[in-house]
Amino acid sequence: MTARSCILVTGGAGFIGTNFVLQWVERGGTIVNLDLETYAGNPENLVSLTGSPQHTLVHGDIADAALVSLLFREHRPQAIVHFAAETHVDRSIAEPDTFIRTNVCGTFTLLEQARQYWSSLREPERSTFRFLHVSTDEVYGSLSPDDPPFVEEQAFAPNSPYAASKAAADHLVRAWFHTYGLPTLTTNCSNNYGPFQFPEKLIPLMILNALAGTPLPIYGDGGNVRDWLFVSDHCAAIRTVLAKGQLGETYNIGGNSERTNLEIVRMICLILDELRPDPVGAHDRLITFVPDRPGHDRRYAMDARKIARLGWQPSVRFEDGLRSTVEWYLNHAPWVDRVRTGAYRDWIRQNYDERISR
């Protein structure tokens, strides 16, 4: 599999998918991009590809078997890279049915349509076809402070509806490899950050709230630990697994950058104090501790030695990636204004304002 191959990408107008699509096309590849364009899937992210023969954006649902089958037949991709998913834990607590439909039923539909397409191929296309499923470290559950990082053989222990739906999808992918021989690969990544991330997630939410002078809501005591991975490094890891990964295997992808949520927010405040000082005072004055969410995992950490044997390592230091991310949001105010719709504001009020007022 080379960067010049034609592939089918699901969720390619979302945060990680957008970055992957832009990088793949930049390297000379061709993409058929299937995206439902929900609140977090933004075609504006891909405006630079307008008119490009290397990129076809299709508005549609991964659970639409007829549409997926048509895309396979018409475009005959050499691989499918499956990003499409509902991903926000808080939303999964409020609306678990959406997560089951997309993450479980949608993945099942893709697997079945991919299996039928792959079965129809002749050599050498049949032996080079790949189905790469992008998953999360949250399927493994929570670590204590002194526990070793997650390894690929870790037993699943999901603690939120989101994590459970992704764990179910991972199991389906494994089963389609072992039962049907579908040439699958799975990646489980740590927390991503970088350009184009929808501002419901921690880092962009804190950047934009700080710029607006509104509270910076931190769950519990702020001591929850995550391993942070810059999105361009994640995209490079996926390309590596697609090209070199062993069929049926899972690869953990981590940034070797464990930080507490409170550390992250304080770092963002210091960067903004330098780049966009607030005459009222330091941005960390806005930090507000709010009641924790149910089932909040304490710590995630990834052992990424397996993918390192394929030749991949993260290249972006967290401090550099965070500054770059803050600068991106500062320089893309029109994009931010357009994605922060009334629906977004309603969600923020629903999920955070009541906590802040308690």
Distance between CA 334 and CA 187 in Å, rounded? 33
What class does CATH assign to 6-198+228-260+300-318?
alpha beta
Task: Identify the pLDDT of residue 355.
Answer: 56
- pTM score: 0.93
Instruction: Tell me what pLDDT residue 342 has.
Output: 52
Q: What is the pLDDT of residue 40?
A: 77
CA-CA distances (angstroms) from residue 303 to 224, 313, 316?
18, 12, 17
- Pairing, β 250-253 against β 184-189: parallel
Q: Is the dihedral of CA 319, 322, 324, 330 positive or negative?
A: negative
User: 3-class DSSP state for residue 161?
Assistant: helix
Residue 3 has pLDDT above 60, yes or no: no
Confidence of residue 349 (pLDDT cuts 50, 70, 90): low
pLDDT category, 29, cuts 50, 70, 90?
Answer: very high
pLDDT in tens, 136-180: 999 999 999 999 999 999 999 999 999 999 999 999 999 999 999
Q: Where are the beta strands (DSSP E) in 100-246?
A: 130-136, 184-189, 191-193, 216-219, 225-230
Instruction: Give me the pLDDT at residue 303, please.
Output: 98
The whole-number pLDDT of residue 255 equals 97
Q: Are 99 and 92 in contact (CB under 8 A)?
A: yes
Examine the pLDDT at 282 and tell me if it is beyond 90: yes
Would you name the residues annotated as active-site residues? 137-138, 162
Per-residue pLDDT, 193: 98
List the chain domain ranges. Answer: 6-198+228-260+300-318
Judge whether residue 340 has pLDDT over 90: no
Write the pLDDT tens digit of every residue in 174-186.
Answer: 999 999 999 999 9
